[in-house]
Amino acid sequence: MPDQLLTGNEAVAQAALDGAVALGTGYPGTPSTEILERFGALGGRAQWAPNEKVALEVGLGVAYAHARALVTMKHVGLNVAADPLFSATYTGVTEGLVIAVADDPGMHSSQNEQDTRRYAEAAGAPMLEPGDSQEAYDYTLAALDVSRRYQLPVILRLTTRVCHSKTRVRTRDQLMPAPAPHYERDIPSRVMIPGYARPAHVRLRERLKALANSDQPGQFLVEEGESSELGIIANGIAAVHAREAAPEARILKPGLTYPLPIEAMRKFAAQVKRCVVVEEGDPVLYTALRAAGIDVEGKAEPFRFGELTVDRVAKILTNDHSPDPEPAAPPKPPRLCHDCPHRQVFQILSKHECIVAGDIGCYTLGVMPPFEAMDTCACMGAGITIGLGLRHVLAKDQARRVVSVIGDSTFVHTGLPGIAEMAYNPPPTGHVVIIVDNDTTAMTGKQEHPGTGRQLNHLPAANKLNYEAIALALGVTNVHVVDPTDGSGEFERLLQDRLAAEELSIIVARKPCPLALKGLAKLNQASPSDGSEQK
């Protein structure tokens, strides 16, 4: 097959197809989103899950059944999936389970700069880190193989530049044969009661030790250059920057970064007068090497923040601690689209000086001028529960101004437990939750979710969630649906009424995203037979 020019995300998807992955599942989140979309477009079985925890658990079931699974998410999504991850390394898997996690150094579209390498060590999951699209392809296939050999889930850590940059990729001519799924009962390995979990922990450490002592780590080590003056140990995209910043240096790049090939790194460091560790994010490699007694230099604290570039790596190597230059022009602040239905909601919330506990999604832009109608935003699903906390303790006149705002996809993701908490422990003044339902996951590119009634490929799903029925079933008796853009003033009157009622209320402010509607219309034109079913 001729070489292809692929992004890292596209390369992972191609590898999943060539590796006979039976199911790809995940939750959309930049910079990981395109992996599953591409996998589905290539003919793989791909689906969006309500959240990352659900995706990992479904993938784990696939891997228990002697089939291969790919689970995708961004770094903050791994927090949601952390609970099953820590048990998945104990139970192990029978076939391949690869968890592709995309970190976002510099927070281009994220709320923090979390470094997923910490999770690999804490959970005991082997980790591979590609530095370009070819490695993204090769390492995905290698991760499936490592997972099968050592019966462990393997994390494939990507970063923004690897996910979205295109490089040439040579794919395999011979594809991996698909295993025949079947179930073999193994209660002591799969049921993590304490009596079975204790030996499972021992097995996990034995598997990691066997992997560390095998020839596998050496297969992912890349060494370039012959300098005896300057050596650089760098992982992922940082190694690419290091090659360009210091072409004369000897460079060691570990592809397997957990467990680390410590002895190979010790030998490398001993061959050069000066050895510098270059890594994006936290000083994970540096700390591990120093703990092993290896004499290496790390980076100055300012380089812990944001993405690395060739210029920044050059400054690390020359101990230049001067501040990074300011951009020639400040970036244009993001804002809600001019015809976004959320605009009316935030306009009214601002007019009535509500205290708004917000959530993650495009509607977070309600914090920007001219609305400035969001007071808190922590993580997916926290808008409801933080609003409840505010309501519990604020004086009555302030508590009655507190409103939680959450989007439809986020409501499905982790908003539902907040509604259960609201019904179970209602604040004295009640509470008002607004679900801004634009019928899509707009923040990551208009993906589908269980509330849209459409699958990953935008064709009809088997079912569609009914938020109003769910809220009533959870014990919220005041549930209202309104179009905030109809010009009747109904939304404003309803909000004032619910704030004064001191009861538990949910307002579903429903109006589809115009951009999503345009996209669906194009699909309908391209596939008229499908379009009739999508309405």
Q: Which residue, among 156, 88, 163, has the nearest Cα to 117 in the 3D structure? A: 156
Structural domain count, the chain: 3
Same domain membership, residue 363 and residue 234:
no
Token pair, residue 247, equals 């072409």
Same domain membership, residue 197 and residue 79:
yes
Give pLDDT tens digits for 264-318. Answer: 999 999 999 999 999 999 999 999 999 999 999 999 999 999 999 999 999 999 9
What is the DSSP secondary-structure string of 498-509?
Answer: HHHHTSEEEEEE
For residue 41, being part of any structural domain is answered with: yes
The segments of the chain whose pLDDT lies below 50 read: 530-535
User: What's residue 533's pLDDT?
Assistant: 37
Token pair, residue 124, equals 């005991």
Domain closes at, from 213, 245, 271: 213
Backbone φ and ψ for 180, nearest 5 degrees, come out as -90, 110
Token pair, residue 476, equals 């919220």
Distance between CA atoms of residues 498 and 430, nearest Å: 9
Same domain membership, residue 76 and residue 22:
yes
Q: Which helix (H) or strand (E) holds 223?
A: strand 221-224
Same domain membership, residue 147 and residue 34:
yes
Same domain membership, residue 197 and residue 68:
yes
Distance between CA atoms of residues 18 and 307, nearest Å: 31
Same domain membership, residue 392 and residue 244:
no
For residue 333, being part of any structural domain is answered with: no
Say how many C-beta atoms besides its own lie within 10 A of residue 186's C-beta.
Answer: 12
Pairing verdict, β 166-169 and 402-407: unpaired
For residue 327, being part of any structural domain is answered with: no
Domain closes at, from 172, 195, 213: 213
What is the DSSP secondary-structure string of 1-65?
Answer: ---EEEEHHHHHHHHHHHTT-SEEEE---TTSTHHHHHHHHTT--EEE-SSHHHHHHHHHHHHHT
Q: Provide the whole-model pTM.
A: 0.93
For residue 442, being part of any structural domain is answered with: yes
Same domain membership, residue 70 and residue 200:
yes
What is the DSSP secondary-structure string of 191-215?
Answer: ---HHHHHHHHHHHHHHHHHHHTSS
Most distant pair of Cα atoms in the chain: their distance? 76
Domain closes at, from 213, 238, 262: 213
Same domain membership, residue 146 and residue 107:
yes
Same domain membership, residue 444 and residue 503:
yes
* H and E: helices and strands count for the chain: 23, 18
Same domain membership, residue 202 and residue 146:
yes
For residue 99, being part of any structural domain is answered with: yes
- Bridge partners, residue 504, by sequence: 431
Q: How far apart are the first and last CA of the chain?
A: 40
Question: Do the beta carbons of residue 32 and residue 447 sit within 8 Å?
Answer: no
- The CATH number covering residue 288 comes to 3.40.50.920
With b for 16 or more beta-carbon neighbours within 10 A and e for fewer, the 37-50 pattern comes to bbbbeeebebbbbb
For residue 324, being part of any structural domain is answered with: no
Helix (H, G, I), strand (E, B) or coil at 219: helix
Distance between CA atoms of residues 474 and 376, nearest Å: 25
User: What's residue 289's pLDDT?
Assistant: 97
394 is in which domain, residue-wise?
341-526
Give pLDDT tens digits for 218-241. Answer: 999 999 999 999 999 999 999 999
For residue 532, being part of any structural domain is answered with: no
Q: Which residue, among 189, 320, 304, 294, has the nearest Cα to 231 in the 3D structure? A: 294
Same domain membership, residue 484 and residue 358:
yes
User: What's residue 531's pLDDT?
Assistant: 40
- The CATH number covering residue 124 comes to 3.40.50.970
For residue 329, being part of any structural domain is answered with: no
Distance between CA atoms of residues 68 and 402, nearest Å: 46
Same domain membership, residue 51 and residue 92:
yes
